[in-house]
Amino acid sequence: MSTPVHRTPTRQSAAAPTSPRQRRDGSLSGNSLEHAVLRMQSGAGNRATAAVVQRARGMDKGKVPQAGGGSAGAKRSYRDEIAALLDRFKKSLEPIDTFIKGVQTPTNAGFTQQAAAAANEGLKHSVAASGTSAASENLLTEVTGTVVNGMDAYKNMKDAKKHESGAGHHTARKKTKVKGADTVIGAAGSAGYSAGIAKEVTKLHKAADAAVASEASGIASASVGAIKAVRAAFRVGGAASKYKKVKELGDPHLVHAQSLARLNESREQAEWAAAEAYVALDAYWDHEGQERLELVSQAIDAAWEATGEARDAAESLQLAEKDVEKLNTVQEYAKKKQLTKIGKEAIGGALGESTKAAAGVVTAVAAGTAGLASNPVGWGLAGAGAGLVLGVTLYKALRAATKRYEEARHPEHWAPENETPAEASSRTESLQHALKFWQKVSKGERQAMAREIYSLAAGPDIKDAGSTTTEMRDSARALLIALKSGPTNHKLEPEAWAATLNDPAETTGWIKEIAEQLASG
């Protein structure tokens, strides 16, 4: 049974002291109001963090296997449960962390600038207390995320070695690199938040080395921001490259115009042949002689065969036109995903983190220059950077919540064609599912588009893929190569790579691989 979290009472010295000055009507002075805001921020953060811990434990209560339940399976289950618990705990902390980074930290920067300008020691003390609380929560979120990313990187590294080649190998290898980089950046971020805590603590206790701690914190913040900005720039470049390659494939309607024209010509010829067969049949009905019945029978057989060929030609054309529309839809979706990624990384990553890095530089310089300590430049940069990152974060959260709502409310939208959609949830249940920010969308548009791409690129032995024309299959496989899922990425020869697309056992891995590549740059 989980031990409940008891909140440690907040020390009086860590909160803003009550101002001795009060108006005669009983209202607080301006300084007291500022102190109250900072005290409320700090206290709310502590209470929210404690609630998050209890909620995360409650979500996973009873899910950890009991000891002695098995050997290898139990070991794997324990590892997975620990990783899931930490991941949920981190995602539960993220809303608080987002508020602190986007609201509390820039507000603290503003109060710091105001306190420095007015030489208000009481306000400086309150800001330091609030900053210590904020940086502590940031550090907890960053450390938890670093551990989760490290576990994911290790797990995917083992999966990559296990598969050696193919879609499973490529997916795991790419995740290993991404999660590994996240782990390194998370460790650097944790060091930066630790320096931030040290800075606030020295200010809180009015230590003599407060300027040194502030300078170290500014340098750490600038370094982490620069690293994140550079990484975001690389991601923008990767997404732009993938967008360019998909765009170079051309409009499927134009690329396959000739093949559709040939299929249409075959249909017309088959229909003419059927019409001529029926004209011949009518002529044999009027024929007189002993061979009349035999000629009529032969004419009926010919007319029946010609009708079947005309029907097959019409179906082939219809399927080809449908496949062209599918290919056009998935190509447009792939381009849209890359453009969206470019926008998010450019605004929230490259620009937002660069601005925060500049704010860190100003903090470091201001630590040793009294004139800059009251300069609003640092405040403005911190607020601008936090605003950009917060805006992108809120956009992502809203998009994810909308997708979770659609997943529960309208499961038929993105359900596979050959499967019966799940029963739609009520509006209230769908809203509740939308608020489960720790859950990923598993049956959304991206997964549906991945299935469409796979059905077009798969070999003839795969169900519902045998009717695809060779030209259409080649175009779909060119799209896979543009999405960085080609033979080179899978460490396979082209023939072996094509064989995996014709292997039913590889279907699940391929769909997962395509979905991952649609979302990544």
Instruction: Write out pLDDT tens, residues 62-81.
Output: 443 333 343 334 445 677 78
Q: CB–CB of 134/112 below 8 Å?
A: no
Q: What is the DSSP string of 222-247?
A: HHHHHHHHHHHHHHHHHHHHHHHHHH
pLDDT band at 127 (very low <50, low <70, confident <90, very high): confident
> What pLDDT sits at residue 240?
94
Instruction: Write out pLDDT tens, residues 321-352.
Output: 999 999 999 999 999 999 999 998 888 877 87
Q: Cα–Cα distance between 110 and 119 in angstroms, integer? A: 14
> What pLDDT sits at residue 450?
94
Helix residue ranges, H only, 164-291: 167-204, 210-248, 252-255, 257-285
Residues in the chain: 521
Instruction: Write out pLDDT tens, residues 392-405.
Output: 888 888 888 898 99
Percent of the chain with pLDDT over 70: 76
Instruction: Write out pLDDT tens, residues 496-510.
Output: 999 999 999 999 999
Of 13-22, 361-370, 505-514, which has the strongest mean pLDDT?
Answer: 505-514
Helix residue ranges, H only, 286-376: 292-344, 352-367, 370-373
Q: CB–CB of 355/381 below 8 Å?
A: yes
Burial string for 444-482 (b: 16+ CB within 10 Å, else e) reads bbbbbbbbbbbbbbbbeebeebeebbebbbebbbbbbbb
Q: CB–CB of 413/377 below 8 Å?
A: no
Instruction: Write out pLDDT tens, residues 191-240.
Output: 888 887 887 777 766 655 666 667 677 777 778 888 888 988 999 999 99
pLDDT higher than 70, residue 52: no
Burial string for 226-262 (b: 16+ CB within 10 Å, else e) reads bbbbebbbebbebbbebbebbeebeebeebbeebbee
Domain ranges within the chain, ordered by starting residue: 30-249+333-375, 444-519
Q: CB–CB of 438/458 below 8 Å?
A: no
Instruction: Write out pLDDT tens, residues 274-305.
Output: 888 888 887 777 767 667 777 778 888 888 88
Contacts of 243 (CB under 8 A, 6+ apart): 335, 338, 339, 342
